[in-house]
Amino acid sequence: MSPAELIIRRASLDDTKNLIELGIRTFRDAFGPDNTSEDMEAYLASAFTPTQIASELADTTATFLLAYADEKLIGYAKLKVGKVPECVHGLKPVELERLYIEKGVIGKGYGAALMASCIEEARQRGYETLWLGVWKRNERAQNFYRKWGFSGVGTKEFIIGKDVQKDLIMERRFEP
């Protein structure tokens, strides 16, 4: 498969079940090896319920983009308008709250295509800054974001189960 075969579209409430399944799988793949199973299961049990995901999909301040390759859901992203950390100084910011790709297709260009779609979506909506939080121990993701012009501007806490972790806050400014 090549990125040209990728179809990216906005999610709807009809995508709740598939988004839950993909969200659990990709979050577990990304963070499971470095966290206790108790902390992971506690987080997943609250973050990926049908009620929680349906609520996020219905939220008018959020936009989910779904990535399909050969009609199979292989990734997703979530843009969210909301509270902005003080360390983010770019104008008109929007958060890239999530960007996940199936483990088996990482490195094939799908993450880059999804990121490009997120930037285009933000631009079309008039935003000038994209910011995100990435786990300080996730060097691979940090390197991916740096390639897209993001730079570190601060830190924030992220809680998985009972474990309080540090995320690096990164931002990228662009013209709308």
CA dist 108 and 126 (Å) reads 30
Closest Cα to residue 62, out of 109, 12, 7? 12
Half-sphere exposure of 106 (CA within 13 A, CB side): 12
Which phi and psi angles does 23 have, rounded to 5°? -60, -45
CA dist 163 and 24 (Å) reads 18
Catalytic residue among 43, 100, 110, 145: 145
Active site residue 145: yes
Instruction: Please identify every residue annotated as catalytic.
Output: 145
